[in-house]
Amino acid sequence: MNARNRSVKRIGVLTGGGDCPGLNAVIRGVAKPAHDYGLSVLGILDGFEGLVTGRGMELYNRDVSGILASGGTILGSSNKGDPFHWPEGTNGGTIIVDKSKDALRNYEAWDLDVLIAIGGDGTMSIANRLSQMGMNIVGVPKTIDNDLQATDQTFGHDSAVFVVSEALDRLHTTASSHHRVMVIEAMGRYAGWIALNGGIAGGADIILIPEIPFEWEVIYNHVLKRNMMGKKFSIVCAAEGAKPKGGEMIVKKIDEKRTDPITLGGIAELVASNIHENTGLETRYTVLGHLQRGGSPTPFDRILSTKFGTSAIELAIKKKFGRMVALKGTEIKSVKIEEAIARQKLVQPNDQAVKAASAVGVSFGTKDL
Ligand code: F6P
Protein backbone atom coordinates (compact mmCIF):
# COMPACT_ATOMS: atom_id res chain seq x y z
CA MET A 1 0.00 0.00 0.00
CA ASN A 2 1.23 3.49 -0.79
CA ALA A 3 2.49 5.02 2.44
CA ARG A 4 0.75 8.29 1.53
CA ASN A 5 -2.73 6.75 1.49
CA ARG A 6 -2.80 4.45 4.48
CA SER A 7 -3.17 5.58 8.08
CA VAL A 8 0.04 6.38 9.91
CA LYS A 9 1.54 3.22 11.42
CA ARG A 10 5.26 3.69 11.41
CA ILE A 11 7.29 6.80 12.00
CA GLY A 12 10.95 7.63 11.62
CA VAL A 13 12.70 10.22 13.72
CA LEU A 14 16.09 11.85 13.24
CA THR A 15 18.11 14.64 14.80
CA GLY A 16 20.08 16.72 12.27
CA GLY A 17 22.79 19.40 12.43
CA GLY A 18 24.58 20.52 15.60
CA ASP A 19 23.23 18.97 18.78
CA CYS A 20 21.73 20.91 21.67
CA PRO A 21 20.08 20.28 25.05
CA GLY A 22 16.48 19.09 24.66
CA LEU A 23 16.90 16.72 21.68
CA ASN A 24 16.32 13.66 23.85
CA ALA A 25 13.30 15.31 25.46
CA VAL A 26 11.79 15.76 21.97
CA ILE A 27 12.56 12.16 20.97
CA ARG A 28 10.83 11.04 24.19
CA GLY A 29 7.91 13.41 23.49
CA VAL A 30 7.52 11.86 20.04
CA ALA A 31 8.04 8.20 20.91
CA LYS A 32 6.02 7.80 24.11
CA PRO A 33 2.68 8.95 22.66
CA ALA A 34 3.49 7.17 19.37
CA HIS A 35 3.76 3.87 21.24
CA ASP A 36 0.50 4.62 23.04
CA TYR A 37 -1.14 5.11 19.63
CA GLY A 38 0.23 1.69 18.62
CA LEU A 39 2.77 3.08 16.15
CA SER A 40 6.24 1.70 15.70
CA VAL A 41 9.15 4.13 15.85
CA LEU A 42 12.42 3.91 13.96
CA GLY A 43 15.27 6.08 15.23
CA ILE A 44 17.51 7.06 12.30
CA LEU A 45 21.15 7.32 13.32
CA ASP A 46 23.40 10.36 12.87
CA GLY A 47 20.85 12.59 11.19
CA PHE A 48 20.49 12.45 7.41
CA GLU A 49 23.67 10.34 7.23
CA GLY A 50 21.66 7.44 8.61
CA LEU A 51 18.83 8.08 6.18
CA VAL A 52 21.19 7.95 3.20
CA THR A 53 23.20 4.96 4.42
CA GLY A 54 20.26 3.03 5.88
CA ARG A 55 21.27 3.03 9.53
CA GLY A 56 18.48 3.02 12.09
CA MET A 57 17.34 1.34 15.30
CA GLU A 58 13.88 0.46 16.55
CA LEU A 59 12.96 2.72 19.44
CA TYR A 60 10.99 0.91 22.12
CA ASN A 61 9.40 2.47 25.16
CA ARG A 62 12.30 1.45 27.39
CA ASP A 63 14.74 3.29 25.06
CA VAL A 64 13.09 6.64 25.70
CA SER A 65 12.71 6.30 29.46
CA GLY A 66 15.07 8.31 31.64
CA ILE A 67 16.34 10.55 28.83
CA LEU A 68 14.33 13.73 29.51
CA ALA A 69 17.16 15.48 31.33
CA SER A 70 20.09 14.14 29.35
CA GLY A 71 21.96 16.35 26.89
CA GLY A 72 22.99 15.34 23.37
CA THR A 73 20.92 12.89 21.34
CA ILE A 74 20.58 9.14 21.75
CA LEU A 75 20.34 8.96 17.93
CA GLY A 76 23.52 10.87 17.14
CA SER A 77 23.63 13.84 14.80
CA SER A 78 25.75 15.23 11.97
CA ASN A 79 26.05 18.40 9.95
CA LYS A 80 27.75 16.62 7.07
CA GLY A 81 24.97 14.27 5.98
CA ASP A 82 23.03 16.50 3.56
CA PRO A 83 21.64 14.00 0.97
CA PHE A 84 21.73 16.74 -1.71
CA HIS A 85 25.31 17.71 -0.85
CA TRP A 86 26.94 14.41 0.02
CA PRO A 87 30.74 14.34 0.32
CA GLU A 88 32.14 11.25 -1.34
CA GLY A 89 35.79 10.28 -1.16
CA THR A 90 37.53 9.53 -4.48
CA ASN A 91 41.16 8.94 -5.45
CA GLY A 92 41.40 12.58 -6.42
CA GLY A 93 39.92 13.86 -3.11
CA THR A 94 36.34 14.57 -2.12
CA ILE A 95 33.53 15.25 -4.55
CA ILE A 96 30.00 16.42 -3.69
CA VAL A 97 27.21 14.20 -5.04
CA ASP A 98 23.41 13.94 -4.76
CA LYS A 99 22.30 10.96 -2.64
CA SER A 100 18.69 12.00 -2.18
CA LYS A 101 17.44 8.95 -4.11
CA ASP A 102 19.21 6.71 -1.55
CA ALA A 103 17.42 8.61 1.22
CA LEU A 104 14.05 8.06 -0.49
CA ARG A 105 14.84 4.40 -1.10
CA ASN A 106 15.60 3.82 2.59
CA TYR A 107 12.49 5.72 3.67
CA GLU A 108 10.44 3.36 1.49
CA ALA A 109 12.40 0.23 2.47
CA TRP A 110 11.81 1.03 6.14
CA ASP A 111 8.10 1.37 5.30
CA LEU A 112 7.88 4.76 6.99
CA ASP A 113 4.66 6.75 6.81
CA VAL A 114 6.25 9.90 8.14
CA LEU A 115 9.67 11.22 9.08
CA ILE A 116 9.98 13.57 12.04
CA ALA A 117 13.02 15.76 11.41
CA ILE A 118 14.36 17.58 14.46
CA GLY A 119 16.80 20.31 13.50
CA GLY A 120 17.61 23.89 12.61
CA ASP A 121 17.43 25.82 9.34
CA GLY A 122 19.79 23.42 7.49
CA THR A 123 17.76 20.38 8.55
CA MET A 124 14.46 22.10 7.66
CA SER A 125 15.78 23.05 4.18
CA ILE A 126 16.78 19.43 3.53
CA ALA A 127 13.44 18.23 4.95
CA ASN A 128 11.61 20.59 2.62
CA ARG A 129 13.42 19.20 -0.42
CA LEU A 130 12.77 15.61 0.68
CA SER A 131 9.12 16.48 1.16
CA GLN A 132 9.02 17.75 -2.45
CA MET A 133 10.37 14.33 -3.50
CA GLY A 134 7.39 12.63 -1.85
CA MET A 135 8.40 11.98 1.77
CA ASN A 136 5.92 12.85 4.49
CA ILE A 137 7.77 15.14 6.86
CA VAL A 138 7.00 16.87 10.14
CA GLY A 139 9.64 19.29 11.47
CA VAL A 140 10.64 20.26 15.01
CA PRO A 141 12.72 23.46 15.35
CA LYS A 142 15.99 23.06 17.22
CA THR A 143 18.99 25.32 17.58
CA ILE A 144 20.79 27.14 20.33
CA ASP A 145 21.02 30.07 17.88
CA ASN A 146 17.25 30.76 17.98
CA ASP A 147 17.39 32.05 14.41
CA LEU A 148 14.28 30.43 12.92
CA GLN A 149 11.74 33.10 12.03
CA ALA A 150 8.65 30.90 12.19
CA THR A 151 8.87 30.09 15.89
CA ASP A 152 9.10 32.51 18.81
CA GLN A 153 11.76 30.25 20.28
CA THR A 154 13.67 27.13 19.32
CA PHE A 155 14.45 24.59 22.03
CA GLY A 156 18.09 24.60 23.15
CA HIS A 157 18.38 28.38 23.17
CA ASP A 158 17.37 28.81 26.79
CA SER A 159 19.95 26.22 27.89
CA ALA A 160 22.71 27.98 25.93
CA VAL A 161 21.71 31.34 27.42
CA PHE A 162 21.89 29.76 30.86
CA VAL A 163 25.49 28.65 30.21
CA VAL A 164 26.49 32.15 29.03
CA SER A 165 24.80 33.78 31.99
CA GLU A 166 26.49 31.44 34.46
CA ALA A 167 29.87 31.94 32.80
CA LEU A 168 29.46 35.72 33.03
CA ASP A 169 28.60 35.45 36.73
CA ARG A 170 31.85 33.55 37.25
CA LEU A 171 33.89 35.95 35.16
CA HIS A 172 32.48 38.92 37.09
CA THR A 173 34.11 37.83 40.33
CA THR A 174 37.54 37.21 38.86
CA ALA A 175 37.35 40.35 36.68
CA SER A 176 36.52 42.34 39.76
CA SER A 177 39.37 40.85 41.85
CA HIS A 178 41.99 41.57 39.17
CA HIS A 179 40.51 44.79 37.74
CA ARG A 180 40.42 43.28 34.30
CA VAL A 181 38.36 43.51 31.15
CA MET A 182 36.95 40.07 30.43
CA VAL A 183 35.76 39.24 26.92
CA ILE A 184 33.59 36.20 26.36
CA GLU A 185 32.75 34.69 22.96
CA ALA A 186 29.28 33.19 22.57
CA MET A 187 28.02 31.08 19.65
CA GLY A 188 25.11 32.01 17.41
CA ARG A 189 26.53 32.16 13.86
CA TYR A 190 24.85 34.98 11.95
CA ALA A 191 22.39 35.81 14.78
CA GLY A 192 23.19 37.53 18.06
CA TRP A 193 20.43 36.06 20.24
CA ILE A 194 22.68 33.99 22.52
CA ALA A 195 25.10 36.88 23.17
CA LEU A 196 22.22 39.34 23.60
CA ASN A 197 20.10 37.27 25.98
CA GLY A 198 23.08 35.73 27.79
CA GLY A 199 24.73 39.14 28.04
CA ILE A 200 21.65 40.72 29.59
CA ALA A 201 21.19 37.82 32.01
CA GLY A 202 24.86 37.91 33.01
CA GLY A 203 25.09 41.69 33.37
CA ALA A 204 27.55 42.32 30.51
CA ASP A 205 28.73 45.93 30.09
CA ILE A 206 29.23 45.61 26.34
CA ILE A 207 27.35 43.28 24.00
CA LEU A 208 28.59 42.82 20.43
CA ILE A 209 26.34 41.09 17.89
CA PRO A 210 26.49 40.61 14.11
CA GLU A 211 23.33 42.63 13.51
CA ILE A 212 24.81 45.77 15.12
CA PRO A 213 28.32 46.31 13.73
CA PHE A 214 30.53 47.99 16.32
CA GLU A 215 33.06 50.86 16.34
CA TRP A 216 36.36 50.20 18.11
CA GLU A 217 36.54 53.69 19.62
CA VAL A 218 33.11 53.31 21.24
CA ILE A 219 34.28 50.12 22.96
CA TYR A 220 37.52 51.69 24.20
CA ASN A 221 35.70 54.77 25.49
CA HIS A 222 33.11 52.67 27.29
CA VAL A 223 35.62 50.63 29.27
CA LEU A 224 37.75 53.72 30.02
CA LYS A 225 34.67 55.62 31.20
CA ARG A 226 33.74 52.77 33.52
CA ASN A 227 37.29 52.73 34.82
CA MET A 228 37.22 56.47 35.50
CA MET A 229 33.92 56.05 37.36
CA GLY A 230 35.70 53.67 39.75
CA LYS A 231 34.31 50.51 38.14
CA LYS A 232 37.53 48.60 37.92
CA PHE A 233 36.36 45.82 35.63
CA SER A 234 34.30 45.43 32.48
CA ILE A 235 32.62 42.46 30.88
CA VAL A 236 32.24 42.16 27.11
CA CYS A 237 29.92 39.52 25.65
CA ALA A 238 30.67 39.07 21.94
CA ALA A 239 28.78 36.85 19.54
CA GLU A 240 31.10 34.76 17.35
CA GLY A 241 29.69 36.59 14.32
CA ALA A 242 30.20 40.12 15.70
CA LYS A 243 32.05 42.41 13.32
CA PRO A 244 33.26 46.00 13.20
CA LYS A 245 31.54 48.55 10.98
CA GLY A 246 32.73 48.00 7.42
CA GLY A 247 34.47 44.76 8.50
CA GLU A 248 33.74 41.06 8.17
CA MET A 249 33.02 38.18 10.55
CA ILE A 250 36.10 36.17 11.47
CA VAL A 251 36.03 32.85 9.62
CA LYS A 252 38.15 30.25 11.37
CA LYS A 253 37.70 27.38 8.96
CA ILE A 254 35.88 26.39 5.77
CA ASP A 255 34.80 22.80 5.28
CA GLU A 256 32.86 22.18 2.07
CA LYS A 257 31.60 18.83 3.41
CA ARG A 258 29.33 20.59 5.90
CA THR A 259 25.82 21.84 5.13
CA ASP A 260 27.09 25.32 6.10
CA PRO A 261 30.82 25.23 5.33
CA ILE A 262 31.80 28.15 7.56
CA THR A 263 33.13 27.88 11.11
CA LEU A 264 33.33 31.23 12.92
CA GLY A 265 35.61 32.12 15.83
CA GLY A 266 38.28 34.48 17.04
CA ILE A 267 36.44 37.70 17.74
CA ALA A 268 36.91 37.58 21.54
CA GLU A 269 40.67 37.27 21.20
CA LEU A 270 40.78 40.21 18.80
CA VAL A 271 38.54 42.40 20.96
CA ALA A 272 40.58 41.58 24.09
CA SER A 273 43.87 42.31 22.37
CA ASN A 274 42.66 45.60 20.83
CA ILE A 275 41.19 46.80 24.14
CA HIS A 276 44.51 46.11 25.85
CA GLU A 277 46.56 47.85 23.17
CA ASN A 278 44.32 50.90 22.99
CA THR A 279 43.39 51.44 26.64
CA GLY A 280 46.29 49.87 28.54
CA LEU A 281 43.79 47.88 30.62
CA GLU A 282 44.54 44.27 31.35
CA THR A 283 42.30 41.90 29.40
CA ARG A 284 41.53 38.20 29.17
CA TYR A 285 39.21 36.29 26.85
CA THR A 286 37.19 33.09 27.13
CA VAL A 287 35.64 31.18 24.25
CA LEU A 288 32.64 29.26 25.54
CA GLY A 289 32.35 27.10 22.42
CA HIS A 290 30.55 23.81 22.70
CA LEU A 291 29.95 24.16 26.43
CA GLN A 292 26.86 26.05 25.22
CA ARG A 293 25.61 22.97 23.42
CA GLY A 294 26.31 20.33 26.05
CA GLY A 295 24.72 19.20 29.26
CA SER A 296 21.25 19.01 30.65
CA PRO A 297 18.42 21.16 29.23
CA THR A 298 16.92 23.87 31.44
CA PRO A 299 13.38 23.29 32.76
CA PHE A 300 12.10 25.73 30.08
CA ASP A 301 13.72 23.65 27.32
CA ARG A 302 12.48 20.37 28.81
CA ILE A 303 8.93 21.71 28.77
CA LEU A 304 9.20 23.24 25.28
CA SER A 305 10.81 20.06 23.89
CA THR A 306 8.09 17.89 25.40
CA LYS A 307 5.40 20.15 23.94
CA PHE A 308 7.14 20.18 20.53
CA GLY A 309 7.61 16.40 20.44
CA THR A 310 4.05 15.57 21.45
CA SER A 311 2.63 18.17 19.03
CA ALA A 312 4.76 16.73 16.21
CA ILE A 313 3.27 13.28 16.68
CA GLU A 314 -0.24 14.80 16.68
CA LEU A 315 0.53 16.47 13.33
CA ALA A 316 1.89 13.18 11.99
CA ILE A 317 -1.23 11.24 12.98
CA LYS A 318 -3.47 13.90 11.44
CA LYS A 319 -1.29 13.64 8.29
CA LYS A 320 -0.46 17.31 8.39
CA PHE A 321 2.76 16.76 6.50
CA GLY A 322 5.25 19.38 5.32
CA ARG A 323 4.68 21.33 8.52
CA MET A 324 6.88 22.30 11.45
CA VAL A 325 5.70 22.78 15.02
CA ALA A 326 6.28 26.32 16.30
CA LEU A 327 5.89 28.30 19.48
CA LYS A 328 3.61 31.29 18.98
CA GLY A 329 3.20 33.25 22.17
CA THR A 330 2.45 30.55 24.73
CA GLU A 331 0.88 28.08 22.30
CA ILE A 332 2.31 25.41 20.05
CA LYS A 333 1.04 25.85 16.49
CA SER A 334 2.37 24.67 13.17
CA VAL A 335 3.68 26.39 10.05
CA LYS A 336 4.63 25.17 6.58
CA ILE A 337 8.28 24.08 6.56
CA GLU A 338 8.91 26.22 3.48
CA GLU A 339 7.64 29.22 5.47
CA ALA A 340 9.97 28.29 8.35
CA ILE A 341 13.06 28.45 6.14
CA ALA A 342 12.06 31.52 4.14
CA ARG A 343 13.74 34.02 6.44
CA GLN A 344 16.30 33.93 9.21
CA LYS A 345 15.30 35.50 12.50
CA LEU A 346 17.90 38.14 13.32
CA VAL A 347 18.06 40.65 16.18
CA GLN A 348 16.52 43.96 15.12
CA PRO A 349 18.29 47.03 16.53
CA ASN A 350 14.94 48.20 17.92
CA ASP A 351 14.23 44.86 19.66
CA GLN A 352 12.90 45.29 23.19
CA ALA A 353 15.87 43.36 24.59
CA VAL A 354 18.32 45.76 22.90
CA LYS A 355 16.35 48.73 24.27
CA ALA A 356 16.21 47.27 27.79
CA ALA A 357 19.94 46.53 27.78
CA SER A 358 20.75 50.03 26.54
CA ALA A 359 18.50 51.50 29.24
CA VAL A 360 20.60 49.85 31.95
CA GLY A 361 23.83 51.16 30.45
CA VAL A 362 24.94 48.32 28.17
CA SER A 363 26.90 49.50 25.14
CA PHE A 364 26.47 47.76 21.80
CA GLY A 365 29.71 49.32 20.63
CA THR A 366 28.00 51.94 18.52
CA LYS A 367 26.65 55.48 18.85
CA ASP A 368 23.89 54.66 16.36
CA LEU A 369 21.33 53.20 18.76
O1 F6P B 1 24.16 26.30 14.90
C2 F6P B 1 24.59 25.93 16.17
C3 F6P B 1 26.06 26.21 16.34
O4 F6P B 1 26.43 25.83 17.65
C5 F6P B 1 26.48 27.64 16.04
O6 F6P B 1 26.14 28.53 17.07
C7 F6P B 1 27.94 27.46 15.78
O8 F6P B 1 28.43 28.45 14.92
C9 F6P B 1 28.00 26.12 15.11
O10 F6P B 1 26.84 25.43 15.46
C11 F6P B 1 29.21 25.30 15.48
O12 F6P B 1 29.20 24.15 14.73
P13 F6P B 1 30.17 22.90 14.98
O14 F6P B 1 29.63 22.14 16.14
O15 F6P B 1 30.10 22.15 13.74
O16 F6P B 1 31.51 23.45 15.30
Residue among 161, 293, 345 to mutate when testing ligand 1 (max atoms within 8 A of CB): 293
Ligand 1 centroid, distance to 340 Cα (angstroms): 19
Same structural domain for residues 145 and 243? no
- Is the distance from the beta carbon of residue 301 to the nearest atom of ligand 1 less than 6 Å? no
Instruction: From the candidates 121, 145, 158, 205, give the one annotated as an active-site residue.
Output: 145
CB 192 within 8 A of CB 241: yes
Ligand 1 centroid, distance to 290 Cα (angstroms): 8
What CATH number does the domain containing 186 carry?
3.40.50.460
> Does 367 map to a domain?
no
Query: What is the predicted pLDDT for the residue at 6?
Result: 81
> Does 114 map to a domain?
yes
Same structural domain for residues 256 and 323? no
Same structural domain for residues 217 and 87? no
Residues 6+ apart with CB under 8 A from 141: 119, 120, 124, 148, 150, 151, 154, 155, 308, 324, 325, 326, 340
What does the alpha-carbon distance between residue 31 and residue 41 come to, in Å, rounded to a whole number? 7
pTM above 0.75, yes or no: yes
Same structural domain for residues 173 and 39? no
Burial of 308 (0-12, 13-18, 19+ CB in 10 A): buried
Helix intervals (H) in 45-99: 48-53
Query: What is the predicted pLDDT for the residue at 1?
Result: 41
Same structural domain for residues 199 and 120? no
Name the β-bridge partners of 263.
253
> Does 4 map to a domain?
no
Same structural domain for residues 101 and 212? no
Residue among 145, 250, 267, 288 to mutate when testing ligand 1 (max atoms within 8 A of CB): 145
> Does 339 map to a domain?
no
How would you list the strands of the sheet with 206-208, edge to edge?
Answer: 206-208, 234-239, 181-186, 283-287
Helix/strand/coil for 49: helix
Residues 6+ apart with CB under 8 A from 219: 206, 208, 236, 271, 274, 275, 363, 365
> Does 185 map to a domain?
yes
- Is the distance from the beta carbon of residue 121 to the nearest atom of ligand 1 less than 6 Å? no
Among 184, 192, 202, smallest CA distance to 354 is for 192
> Does 52 map to a domain?
yes
Ligand 1 centroid, distance to 233 Cα (angstroms): 30
Please report, for residues 24, 28, 61, 269, the alpha-carbon distance to residue 66 in angstroms, rounded to integers and kept in the order given.
10, 9, 10, 40
Same structural domain for residues 74 and 210? no
Same structural domain for residues 211 and 353? yes
What CATH number does the domain containing 72 carry?
3.40.50.450
- Domain region containing 313: 10-155+297-329
- Is the distance from the beta carbon of residue 157 to the nearest atom of ligand 1 less than 6 Å? no
What does the alpha-carbon distance between residue 251 and residue 145 come to, in Å, rounded to a whole number? 17
Please report, for residues 53, 89, 91, 223, the alpha-carbon distance to residue 257 in angstroms, rounded to integers and kept in the order given.
16, 11, 16, 41
Nearest CA to ligand 1 atom 8: 189
> Does 365 map to a domain?
no
Residues 6+ apart with CB under 8 A from 267: 185, 208, 238, 239, 240, 241, 242, 243, 249, 250
Q: What share of the chain is helix, strand, coil (3-state, %, to 5)?
A: 35, 20, 40
Interhelix angle 23-36/299-317, nearest 10 degrees: 40
Query: What is the predicted pLDDT for the residue at 10?
Result: 98
**Region for residue 214 given its phi and psi (left: phi exceeds 0; alpha: psi -120 to 50; beta: otherwise):** beta
- Sign of the C-alpha dihedral computed for residues 344, 345, 350 and 355 taken in this order: negative
Same structural domain for residues 148 and 161? no
Among 188, 187, 186, 190, smallest CA distance to 206 is for 186
Nearest CA to ligand 1 atom 6: 188
What does the alpha-carbon distance between residue 328 and residue 311 come to, in Å, rounded to a whole number? 13
Same structural domain for residues 52 and 172? no
CB 16 within 8 A of CB 122: yes
What does the alpha-carbon distance between residue 163 and residue 142 come to, in Å, rounded to a whole number? 17
Ligand 1 centroid, distance to 18 Cα (angstroms): 6
- Is the distance from the beta carbon of residue 259 to the nearest atom of ligand 1 less than 6 Å? no
- Sign of the C-alpha dihedral computed for residues 79, 151, 187 and 202 taken in this order: negative
Ligand 1 centroid, distance to 259 Cα (angstroms): 11
**Region for residue 213 given its phi and psi (left: phi exceeds 0; alpha: psi -120 to 50; beta: otherwise):** beta
Same structural domain for residues 270 and 322? no
> Does 281 map to a domain?
yes
Same structural domain for residues 282 and 240? yes
Query: What is the predicted pLDDT for the residue at 2?
Result: 45
Query: What is the predicted pLDDT for the residue at 252?
Result: 95
Per the structure, the count of domains in the chain is: 2
- Is the distance from the beta carbon of residue 187 to the nearest atom of ligand 1 less than 6 Å? yes
CB 211 within 8 A of CB 347: yes
Ligand 1 centroid, distance to 189 Cα (angstroms): 7
What does the alpha-carbon distance between residue 88 and residue 191 come to, in Å, rounded to a whole number? 31
Look up 82 and say whether it is catalytic.
Answer: no
Per-residue pLDDT of the chain (369 residues; tens, 9 = 90+): 444 568 999 999 999 999 999 999 999 999 999 999 999 999 999 999 999 999 999 999 999 999 999 999 999 999 889 999 999 988 888 899 999 999 999 999 999 999 999 999 999 999 999 999 999 999 999 999 999 999 999 999 999 999 999 999 999 999 999 999 999 999 999 999 999 999 999 999 999 999 999 999 999 999 999 999 999 999 999 999 999 999 999 999 998 888 788 999 999 999 999 999 999 999 999 999 999 999 999 999 999 999 999 999 999 999 999 999 999 999 999 999 999 999 999 999 999 999 999 999 999 999 998
Please report, for residues 41, 115, 242, 340, the alpha-carbon distance to residue 191 in angstroms, rounded to integers and kept in the order given.
34, 28, 9, 16
